[in-house]
């Protein structure tokens, strides 16, 4: 199972640090990545959190309110083909929401 978690419906004002603080209640956070729009630099409203252990986190956090938004939390799945239609291929290892 992936150690990466997809977090959707994230507030545009959320920071990597605030997301890390939320997830650190459940164990060691290895990384938080909040993708941004290349033109505006604004958050795209989702992120990926990599944890040492993801057991039970999805069930506990999915549907909870965080910074004024109800989160959609699920396990991230590694993409099979590397890139999708419309992708600019900037990432060598991509994850997507299932």
pTM: 0.78
Q: Confirm if 95 and 6 have CB atoms less than 8 A apart.
A: yes
Domains and CATH numbers, the chain: 4-77 (3.30.70.330)
Mean pLDDT of the region 70-92: 71
| Model pLDDT, residue 94 | 58
- Backbone phi, psi, residue 55, to 5°: -55, 120
Q: Confirm if 78 and 3 have CB atoms less than 8 A apart.
A: no
Instruction: Please provide the average confidence, as pLDDT, over all residues in the chain.
Output: 87
């Amino acid at each position: 199972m992936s150690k990466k978690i997809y977090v959707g419906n994230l507030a545009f004002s959320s920071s990597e640090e605030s997301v890390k603080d939320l997830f650190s209640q459940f164990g060691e956070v290895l990384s938080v990545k909040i993708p941004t729009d290349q033109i505006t630099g604004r958050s795209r409203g989702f992120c990926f959190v990599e944890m040492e252990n993801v057991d039970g986190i999805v069930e506990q956090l999915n549907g909870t309110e965080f910074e004024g938004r109800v989160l959609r939390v699920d396990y991230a799945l590694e993409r099979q083909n590397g890139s999708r239609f419309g992708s600019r291929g900037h990432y060598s290892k991509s994850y997507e929401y299932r």
